Structure 1
Amino acid sequence: MKYFLLLITLFTGISYASAQGMGGAAAPSVTGRISGTILDSLTSKPVDYATVSLGRAGSVKTTNGALTDEKGAFKIENIAAGSYRITIAFLGYQTKILDSVKTTPGKPDLNLGRILLAPNLKMLNEVVITGTTPIIENKIDKLVYNAEQDIAIAGGNATDVLRKVPLLSVDFEGNVSLRGSQNVRVLINGKPSGSMANNMADALKAIPADQIKNVEVITSPSAKYDAEGTSGIINIITKKNNLAGISGSVNGGVGTRQNSGNLNLNAKTGRLAVTANGGGFYSWPQTSTISFKRTNADASQIISQNGESQTDRLAANGSIGADYDFNSFNSISTNLRLNGFSNGADGSNLNQNIFNGNAVNFTRLSDNSMHMNGIDWSSDFLHKFKKKDQQISVAYQFTNSIQKNDYTTDFSNTVIDEYGNNDADNTENTIQVDYTHPFKKVTFETGVKGILRDIVSDNQTRNFNSETNVFSPISSRTYVYDYNQDVYSAYATFGFTLAKKYGIRAGARYEGTEIKGDARSVGAAASPFTSSYYNLVPSFVVSRTFKNFSTVKLSYNQRLQRPSLFYLNPFLNSADIYNQSQGNPSLKPELSHNVEFNYSMFVKTSVLNASVYYRRTNDIIESFVLPISVTDPSTGLTATGSRTTFRNVGNNNSVGFNFFGQINPVKPLTLRGNFNVFTYDINTNNTVVVSNTNSNTQLIYNAFLMASYVFPKGLTFETFLITNSPRRTSQGKNPSFNMWNLGLKKEIMKKKGSIGLTVIDPFNENKNFRSNIAGADFTQTSNFSVPFRSFGTSFSYRFGKLTMQAPRKKRGVTNDDLKQGEQNTGNQ
């Protein structure tokens, strides 16, 4: 660690010194900004996209300028003290000139306030200017889904939002896939969250949909990003208003399945901006039915279960952040985020087993609960040089999450036979330095990073001794397990444009990983081990732009997928002795090669995006069911049960095609659709034996269709349909998923508020999720039936007075480097 800190210190000093030399003269001692808000003189409405030009007083030459945003606000940076001439122009309005605008060293920042622009009466009846942010934006390095423009997500959570994002699919448990792969990294505002390392599906449910501004999907990350995430990166951007004054919003929803609420507050004055938000959701208790059957190859043993369980969920999260600009060149940012999630499941199962022709029946009662609490704190410093786009940043992040899993099981219906609990503590410290230098036609980026992870899993399991009438620890399952993972990395990228049509970005990243795992008690089931591996991962993308905003893009990159806490935790959950689950701390990382050819086109309001891609993943990690010997609680005989764990099952080759399109056949109507189809072709390693039915190439698909219609007076209707085929694994297939939603939204209170109605699957009270798994000597089927049809209402209101906008560059730590957890994959 000390060598890494020394490396960062030297790197920072060298980068800063070289930047000073390469950038020319030092920056002026005092610089500031000129800002204001342009309004229509007749309606007092903002004038967006107006041109604001700045030059020296008495001269018509322009030296700087800006465009107004959707609030009519503008800001011109890096202004030395002096007198200036400002010209404001926009089609359909009379040009306005302010010829004596002064700033001084004592007051370098000047806010001109509200500036009224008079319409040109000759053109007033001829020109109509409208502009809104599109729901989907396709950029050179990512696809952006602007959730705040979508009316049908009110009252839901982040899982509901991700279901509507092109290229993504979400199954019934909330597991997110990017083009069919669950090996995806999810970031919040460009930063990781410790809660995601425990169970991503649950963590996403804790984020209210009304808090999300947009979602970025990055399928070909550059070397600047961590090499983790074999299929790509999902970055969830939350709402943040950098407008002068105090503003906020309140959102809430009530439904037959779940309830949610969220509050956002924003305050900005001068160079200081503060934001805070809090929210959560609660799902009403619901009763689900479960059926399970496991048969040996020779049918000598049949394990059959039928039962029900009652579950409920509660989630909450909150954050507070502050940004301060010391001047135009130096700024600091800090953010603190808290989150919590809990769920419980009380169940009763009737076991009807057959052992060598003899029937054995008994009832099992179980109680499972999970509680997760996390904290993420980050702070970063950004220094901009005099040369445009030249900058250096230093960021630090501390992340801690604690997840508690508890279960009890009772076969006699009188005394608890076994109980177990696990406290898993995941702590991360990250430091990162990034430097950007623009040359004449090339932009160079480089940086170093260190991530120190410490995971402690405290396992305690006890069973009842009928002879002594006391609970005794099970020594092999009562221990504390320490897992340490340190990742050190450095990267360099180059980006440039040729002939104004070709964009090229290339780079490489080197990552070294050191792992150590050991149990603190003697005789523990989890064996100690150490491992180190080093990877050089290149990335390359070239794009060609044509007329009519059409673009073709070819990209290649390598990606890693290190297993997160969810996969590594060695805690054995045996609430059901015939269906146990346990993590695997000995998992190796995945390594993938990704090639993509993409075409996109924008014609007026129509959007088309199509991709053909190939992905080869080595040492792919999947849930895997293993046969184990157990003692039947009713007869005392030895029987065969199953344990779901995770393994590196082999190599997978996948070829896929993705299509996304959006059209407006008539002005009020918008139609959108996304279709993704790909192959699953697993070549298992020598340690994995699968049935012949799972060794062939499989075809998997997911699709999304949406239609929305805008009626007069602020009324909007939307409906969408999602369908996902069963997800294949080396042992079989996990459940398919489909959902139909209808939504209605009405703007009220002069468009500051809205009310909405949402209906989910109106014709399906319950939904069945079936899975089939086959091993070398067994077959296993299960069905999980849950209440699904729901009705809900939502309300939102925006308040506060805003005067100007100051967009800020995102920065900070981005630990996009861990395989996220599936939820109960492979289990009933």
Structure 2
Amino acid sequence: MKLYVLLPFAMLVTLSTPTKAQSIRGKIGGLIRDTQNRALSGATVILQERQDSTTHQAGLSDADGKFAFKSLPKGDYLLRCSYVGFQPYKSGLLSITETQPVLQLPVIILQTSTPKTLSEVVVTAKKPLVEQKIDRLIVNVDAMLTAAGSNALDVLAKSPGVMVNTNDDISLNGKRNVLVLIDDRPTYMSAQDLAAYLRSLPGGLLDKLELISNPPARYDAAGGAIINIVLKKNRATGFNGSLNLGYNQGVYGRSNNSLLLNYRTKKFNIFTNSSYSRDRNFSEETYSRYFYSDAKSLQSTILQTSRSSYTSNGWNGRIGMDYFASPKITIGILFTGSTRPKSDRLDYTSNQYTELMQLDSVSRGYINGLYQSKNTGINVNLSHKFDNRGKLLTANIDYLNFQSSTNQFSPIDTYRPDGQLAGTQERFFAIPSTVRIYAGKVDFTQPLAGKSEFSAGLKSSYVMTDTESNWLNQTGDGPVPDYGKSNHFQYTESINAAYVNLKKEWSRWGIQTGLRLENTQSKGHQLANPTTVDSTFHRSYSWLFPSLYLSYKVDKRGDNTLALSYSKRIRRPGYQQLNPFLFFRDRYSYSGGNPNLIPGYGQAIDLRYTFKQYVGVTLSYSWDKDGIDPITRVVGDQFITRPQNFYQGQSLGIIPNISFSPTSWWTVNISAVLLAIRNRGQTDGVTIDQQSNLHEVETVNQFQLSKSWSAELTGFFPGNQFFAQTKSSSIYNISAGLQKTILQGQGTLRLTVNDIFYSLVMNSQTVALNHISAFYTRQGDTRRVGFSFMYRFGKEANARKRNTVGSAEEEKQRTN
């Protein structure tokens, strides 16, 4: 039996071994906030012994306002808190006993001493842009000035280690196939659909991003890494809310607006957010394709120029309620919905030349498209806290429904060199699609003696997809179906999973080990038509996914820490990647699916060093098998791209993140991803054996100009990229922002400029094509000036928080 299978059980035996009775080592911890529910970092906290009022321990609250006093003997204590500009706080009697060795205090709210100090409090309590955690990197979106008025995809692209390529694929620290969660719940979309959804999600709705390179066993095993997008929540007593309005102008105007509302009493909490975005963009593209003979002499050339533009309106809504049945039991329900109608127009001209570069033919065409996407979902959840030590049971049931439709009209006219019309072709495309997802999960956490914890969980999901791709050719008798290219594809998949996870902490060492088992059953069905026979395929497989996390505090305070982590992950094909449809792009470009895809898997090991919130450096090594990449084949003069289990890859990376303040008013954050990659693969006549060095550097400079004025200057510098058949040249992006707080800190005005030098011009080459050279350029509406306004209203006070993790952890990520 492999070693990793034994690790959780060995930990369990170790943790359950009887030990001698020890004297009580108690703990008192808590959280300090202001009346606006903001964390107070650096508050002075003093713990006194009641019997003689002498100071037993003293310390400061951390960046999240947290504090903790450990190794406390049995006895009675008093707690005092103080912070500049706030009234001091003194607790009642706090007792550490044998039956109650741990006290987790309610949130301590410090009252301002005078109203005039409010703006100072806002500046002092400001969260840093990036927080260094041992197991993840946290990006506080409100601290990113240039995120104002933009959308969630733009915010992601500006985050440390995150890259969004020309195909809208998202990677983290060089790891592709990233699983994107929203509030710990899956997004269930393909890369393209996910990108469209994130473009419709205003940046003003985002609270923070959690970037997790090596996720633990409680997460689904899918994806190379995890990005969790945490939306803003306000669960304070009474009625509260915030309004975000944003507009930015390039060649076209865009708008991103959101409204958050919350009403809380002792028995229930009702919360909702709604948003509207209007997205409009254009893309100017050129394709240059050169065809050579076996003797390497030029045979023909195709040069194409195109311009596309689209307009999309996105409405997103969430409404939910938590019912506090008792102080320890909460029952919740959440409804989600979104709709994104979109229209686009693509115009292109293709010139085909002979071997002597003489014009052979000219094709002119366009595509008019109308699209609709409607998503609805419901989540029912339960949380039962058994005691104050952390014994917890959570349960979730999810149902999601995705409806989309595509309707396109595409005429093409072909001309001879003398300008005479040689032929006309008109096509219609109608592609309706439905995805239904049912999922349920249960998670249980049990604290054990000696700073140990056991957790386990079960999850089951069932997915059904139904997609029709209808091609129709216009004839003199009207539209006629092209059954050779039309299809009707149905796919079902069930995944059943179970995991165990064990944690143990000592004064300096910490270990977490987990094992996840996932069983997958799937079936694909290609329905027959007059020219296509009925066919099916089945997949059934079970895999174990171990994870290990080991940490060490180099010093007693834990300012310097080392962490070693390992995980194994699976890369399942997207639902529609298995669909053998063919999608029309233009006369010379098509894309499609591949029913022969199998899951690939990857393994990664990271060694991370952190120093407080200032330095984080990760040394990463990963290897992948049966990785899925789009592979382009040439049939005649047409480029046809389909996903393939193509590459076996290895990468070695150094990922630093540094934050420092040269002066009291200037803060700098620098992050980078430096990778050495080796990818090899062979499929369908395409062979790749590439070694490349990739890098990406991001800088953020933040300036506190006064109590109410601040500014930001950001730089994004990705180098040359080389993955599979796509080789891209380096680009860069310089953006800036200016912020003014108004209305006694409750309002914020921001002015932003993105891509100041209009430098986001994509240049790429498609390689490993037999006797063909192909080049591509693209430029869009990236230089933009934006304005945004945010206003917070309502009374904020202490709030009990819940972190509801939906049961659908991964499936929505793979819809198409």
TM-score using structure 2 length = 0.83
Deviates more, 1:327-336 or 1:351-360: 351-360
Give 1:284 deviation, angstroms. 3.6
Q: What aligned pairs does 1:343-354 form with structure 2 within 5 A after superposition?
A: 343-354=342-353
Give 1:44 deviation, angstroms. 14
**Aligned pair partner of 1:426 in 432, 435, 441:** 435
Tell me if structure 1 keeps the 8 A contact 2:244–2:790. yes
Tell me if structure 2 keeps the 8 A contact 1:501–1:544. yes
Give 1:459 deviation, angstroms. 1.5
* CA distance in structure 2 between the aligned counterparts of 1:99 and 1:554, rounded to whole angstroms: 41
Q: What aligned pairs does 1:600-615 form with structure 2 within 5 A after superposition?
A: 600-602=610-612, 607-615=614-622
Cα gap change, 1:687/1:246 in structure 2, threshold over 3 Å: closer, same or farther? same
Tell me if structure 2 keeps the 8 A contact 1:563–1:819. no
SS in structure 2 at match of 1:482: strand
* CA distance in structure 2 between the aligned counterparts of 1:586 and 1:235, rounded to whole angstroms: 31
* CA distance in structure 2 between the aligned counterparts of 1:533 and 1:621, rounded to whole angstroms: 18
Q: Which residue of 1 aligns with 2:304?
A: 305
Alignment of 1:339 onto 2:338: yes
**Aligned pair partner of 2:657 in 645, 657, 660:** 660
Q: Which residue of 1 aligns with 2:4?
A: none
Q: Which residue of 2 aligns with 1:266?
A: 262
Q: Which residue of 2 aligns with 1:64?
A: none
* CA distance in structure 2 between the aligned counterparts of 1:521 and 1:417, rounded to whole angstroms: 25
Tell me if structure 1 keeps the 8 A contact 2:194–2:813. no
Give 1:129 deviation, angstroms. 12
**Aligned pair partner of 1:675 in 654, 658, 672:** 672
Tell me if structure 2 keeps the 8 A contact 1:175–1:200. no
Q: What aligned pairs does 1:805-816 form with structure 2 within 5 A after superposition?
A: 805-816=799-810
Tell me if structure 2 keeps the 8 A contact 1:368–1:407. yes
Cα gap change, 1:129/1:276 in structure 2, threshold over 3 Å: closer, same or farther? closer
Q: Which residue of 1 aligns with 2:766?
A: 772
**Aligned pair partner of 2:681 in 676, 679, 684:** 684
Q: Which residue of 1 aligns with 2:776?
A: 782
Alignment of 1:148 onto 2:145: no
Tell me if structure 1 keeps the 8 A contact 2:627–2:647. yes
Tell me if structure 1 keeps the 8 A contact 2:733–2:756. no
Q: Which residue of 1 aligns with 2:70?
A: none
Q: What aligned pairs does 1:237-386 form with structure 2 within 5 A after superposition?
A: 237-257=230-250, 258-284=254-280, 286=282, 288-298=284-294, 299-354=298-353, 359-386=360-387
Q: Which residue of 1 aligns with 2:464?
A: 454
Q: Which residue of 2 aligns with 1:439?
A: 448
* CA distance in structure 2 between the aligned counterparts of 1:519 and 1:45, rounded to whole angstroms: 55
Tell me if structure 2 keeps the 8 A contact 1:680–1:698. yes
State the Cα deviation string for residues 450-500 of structure 1 (Å, max 9, x = none): 1101111111111123xx4321111133332101111111111111013x1
State the Cα deviation string for residues 326-380 of structure 1 (Å, max 9, x = none): 1122111221111233443312222211367671223122223433221222111
Tell me if structure 2 keeps the 8 A contact 1:228–1:818. no
Question: What stretches of structure 1 of length at least 5 have no aligned partner?
Answer: 1-34, 62-66, 75-84, 101-109, 120-126, 629-638, 823-828
Q: Which residue of 2 aligns with 1:756?
A: 750
Q: Which residue type is aligned with residue 309 of structure 1?
A: S
Give 1:671 deviation, angstroms. 0.7
Cα gap change, 1:130/1:253 in structure 2, threshold over 3 Å: closer, same or farther? closer
**Aligned pair partner of 2:81 in 81, 84, 90:** 90
Q: What aligned pairs does 1:203-214 form with structure 2 within 5 A after superposition?
A: 203-214=197-208
Tell me if structure 2 keeps the 8 A contact 1:736–1:770. no
State the Cα deviation string for residues 746-774 of structure 1 (Å, max 9, x = none): 11111111111111223328734433333
* CA distance in structure 2 between the aligned counterparts of 1:703 and 1:45, rounded to whole angstroms: 31
Tell me if structure 2 keeps the 8 A contact 1:765–1:787. no
Give 1:399 deviation, angstroms. 1.5
Q: Which residue of 2 aligns with 1:12?
A: none
* CA distance in structure 1 between the aligned counterparts of 2:691 and 2:49, rounded to whole angstroms: 66
* CA distance in structure 1 between the aligned counterparts of 2:413 and 2:391, rounded to whole angstroms: 71
Cα gap change, 1:661/1:236 in structure 2, threshold over 3 Å: closer, same or farther? same
Q: Which residue of 1 aligns with 2:624?
A: 617
* CA distance in structure 2 between the aligned counterparts of 1:680 and 1:580, rounded to whole angstroms: 29
* CA distance in structure 1 between the aligned counterparts of 2:352 and 2:521, rounded to whole angstroms: 46
Give 1:301 deviation, angstroms. 3.5
Give 1:585 deviation, angstroms. 3.2
Q: What aligned pairs does 1:410-809 form with structure 2 within 5 A after superposition?
A: 410-412=411-413, 417-441=426-450, 442-465=452-475, 468-498=476-506, 500-522=507-529, 523-524=531-532, 527-547=535-555, 549-602=559-612, 607-628=614-635, 639-685=636-682, 687-690=684-687, 695-734=689-728, 736-764=730-758, 767-809=761-803
Give 1:38 deviation, angstroms. 8.9
* CA distance in structure 2 between the aligned counterparts of 1:71 and 1:679, rounded to whole angstroms: 36
Q: Which residue of 1 aligns with 2:8?
A: none
Alignment of 1:236 onto 2:229: yes
Q: Which residue of 2 aligns with 1:163?
A: 157
Give 1:209 deviation, angstroms. 0.7
Deviates more, 1:653-662 or 1:765-774: 765-774
Q: Which residue type is aligned with residue 699 of structure 2?
A: L
Q: Which residue type is aligned with residue 272 of structure 2?
A: A
Q: How many equivalent pairs are there? A: 737
Deviates more, 1:196-205 or 1:534-543: 196-205
SS in structure 2 at match of 1:160: helix
Give 1:528 deviation, angstroms. 2.0
Q: Which residue type is aligned with residue 420 of structure 1?
A: F
Tell me if structure 2 keeps the 8 A contact 1:206–1:280. yes
**Aligned pair partner of 2:174 in 169, 180, 197:** 180
State the Cα deviation string for residues 181-226 of structure 1 (Å, max 9, x = none): 3211000000012345762211211211111111101111111111
Cα gap change, 1:777/1:496 in structure 2, threshold over 3 Å: closer, same or farther? same
Give 1:743 deviation, angstroms. 0.5
Cα gap change, 1:94/1:485 in structure 2, threshold over 3 Å: closer, same or farther? closer
Q: Which residue type is aligned with residue 404 of structure 1?
A: S
SS in structure 2 at match of 1:464: strand
State the Cα deviation string for residues 655-683 of structure 1 (Å, max 9, x = none): 11111101001111001111101123122
Q: Which residue of 1 aligns with 2:419?
A: none
State the Cα deviation string for residues 6-40 of structure 1 (Å, max 9, x = none): xxxxxxxxxxxxxxxxxxxxxxxxxxxxx999989
Give 1:571 deviation, angstroms. 3.0
Q: Which residue of 1 aligns with 2:72?
A: none
Q: Which residue type is aligned with residue 430 of structure 2?
A: N
Give 1:68 deviation, angstroms. 10
State the Cα deviation string for residues 430-451 of structure 1 (Å, max 9, x = none): 0111111111032111111111
SS in structure 2 at match of 1:202: helix
Cα gap change, 1:766/1:728 in structure 2, threshold over 3 Å: closer, same or farther? closer
Percent of paired sites with the same residue: 23
Cα gap change, 1:724/1:406 in structure 2, threshold over 3 Å: closer, same or farther? farther
* CA distance in structure 2 between the aligned counterparts of 1:225 and 1:46, rounded to whole angstroms: 28
SS in structure 1 at match of 2:387: coil
Tell me if structure 1 keeps the 8 A contact 2:686–2:768. no
Give 1:322 deviation, angstroms. 1.3
* CA distance in structure 2 between the aligned counterparts of 1:513 and 1:426, rounded to whole angstroms: 18
* CA distance in structure 1 between the aligned counterparts of 2:638 and 2:730, rounded to whole angstroms: 25
TM-score using structure 1 length = 0.81
Give 1:160 deviation, angstroms. 1.9
Tell me if structure 2 keeps the 8 A contact 1:347–1:366. yes
Tell me if structure 2 keeps the 8 A contact 1:366–1:408. yes
